[in-house]
């Protein structure tokens, strides 16, 4: 299965989002176009333009029945997409970001980093620590810093060169450095 869609299923399982649906039925994830990779529009407030193209995917909405839409809140647990290592924990404009290196499953030898953003990491996590697929690594954070936005998980994938120092792996680098190649998580 595609890695990103597998990850959506993991989020659903860890949080028991399909609870009560029965018969193995799955929830449906919902995305406004402004939540998608490289979108130039906002999915909040005035729905006008973002300051720069979106560096990842925002995950927040799902439905359990055709007329029952749900949104994440700050109790949503964030699982790890795969086994990996925590390279950095840094601030973002809503909460914190975990920068994780997951194994690259493709045949190339490129180095892939993943940013789980707008979260509150589990207290036991430290840089250098190994994590396992489906481990709960964080909770989605509340959005009191920008109440127009609903709580959501921002998920990014970056391809970097080997030589970057761990402590520099943060949003200043991801947003401004043209050597960072941003990858659409849907095509992982």
CB of 140 to Zn ion, least distance (A): 12
Q: Which is nearer to Zn ion, 43 or 107 (CB)?
A: 43
Binding span for Zn ion by CB under 5 A among 45-53, 130-138, 149-157, 171-179: 149-157
CB atoms within 10 A of CB 61: 18
Minimum CB separation of residue 154 from Zn ion in Å reads: 4
Please name the residue that has the structure tokens 């994938």. Answer: 157
Give whichever of 17 and 115 is closer to Zn ion, judged by the CB atom: 115
Nearest approach in angstroms of CB 55 to Zn ion is 7
Show contacts with Zn ion in window 41-80 (CB under 5 A).
Answer: 58
Q: Where are the beta strands (DSSP E) in 66-160?
A: 68-71, 77-79, 84-91, 96-102, 111-121, 130-131, 136-140, 153-160
Count how many Cα atoms sit within 13 Å of the Cα of residue 14 in the half-sphere of its side chain.
Answer: 20
Q: Closest separation between CB of residue 67 and Zn ion, Å?
A: 27
| Alpha-carbon gap, residue 188 to 171, rounded angstroms | 21
101 contacts Zn ion (rule: CB under 5 A): no
Judge residue 186's burial from the number of C-beta atoms within 10 Å of its C-beta, 0-12 exposed, 13-18 middle, 19 or more buried. Answer: middle
Q: How many residues bind Zn ion (CB under 5 A)?
A: 2
Nearer to Zn ion, 26 or 29 (CB): 29
Q: Check residue 154 for interaction with Zn ion (CB under 5 A).
A: yes
Residue 58 near residue 76 (C-beta atoms within 8 A): no
Q: Do 115 and 96 contact (CB within 8 A), yes or no?
A: no
Q: Interacting stretch for Zn ion, rule CB under 5 A, among 13-21, 61-69, 125-133, 153-161?
A: 153-161
Rounded to the nearest whole angstrom, what is the least distance from the CB of residue 54 to Zn ion in the complex?
6
Binding site for Zn ion (CB under 5 A): 58, 154
């Amino acid at each position: 299965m595609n890695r990103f869609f597998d990850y959506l299923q993991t989020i659903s399982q860890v949080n028991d989002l399909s609870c009560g649906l029965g018969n193995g039925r799955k929830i449906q994830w919902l995305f406004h176009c402004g939540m998608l990779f490289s979108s130039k529009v906002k999915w909040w407030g005035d729905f006008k333009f973002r300051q720069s193209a979106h560096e990842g995917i925002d995950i927040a909405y799902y439905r359990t029945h055709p007329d029952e839409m749900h949104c994440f809140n700050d109790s949503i647990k964030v699982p790890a997409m795969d086994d990996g290592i925590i390279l950095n924990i840094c601030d973002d404009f809503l909460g914190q970001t975990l920068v994780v290196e997951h194994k690259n499953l493709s045949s190339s030898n490129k180095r892939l980093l993943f940013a789980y953003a707008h979260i509150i990491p589990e207290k036991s996590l430290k840089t250098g620590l190994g994590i396992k697929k489906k481990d709960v690594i964080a909770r989605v954070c509340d959005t009191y810093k920008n109440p127009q936005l609903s709580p959501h998980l921002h998920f990014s994938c970056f391809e970097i060169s080997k030589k970057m120092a761990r402590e520099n792996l943060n949003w200043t680098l991801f947003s401004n450095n043209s050597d960072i190649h941003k990858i659409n998580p849907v095509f992982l």
